[in-house]
Amino acid sequence: MRTHFAPFTDLEDIEQAPCGTWLGEVPELSGDWAEVDCLLCQKRKDRIIAAAADEERFIVEQMGDMAAFMRAQG
């Protein structure tokens, strides 16, 4: 079984690795590229990192919106 890369902290409801592979009952996932031996993940490394960075930006933006909303409410 291959170890896939997973940038997420919440691994509970991951059904698919970032490379597109469907995961089994006990998914082998790691946030450490040194432990990732899935060739697809390694091949898409740059894209996966870019996507994770995008997601992070989006979450930070959303939290900023939420903070502004709370301030407006208060």
Q: How far is CA 70 from CA 57, 59, 65, in A?
A: 20, 16, 9
Asked if 4 is part of the footprint of Zn ion (rule: CB under 5 A), the reply reads: yes
- The secondary structure of residue 30, as a DSSP letter, is E
12: tokens are 């509970």
Asked if 49 is part of the footprint of Zn ion (rule: CB under 5 A), the reply reads: no
Which of 40, 45, 49, 52 is close enough to bind Zn ion by CB under 5 A? 40
Nearer Cβ to Zn ion (16/62): 16
43: tokens are 């091949």
Asked if 41 is part of the footprint of Zn ion (rule: CB under 5 A), the reply reads: yes
Residues interacting with Zn ion, by CB under 5 A? 4, 17, 19, 21, 38, 40-41
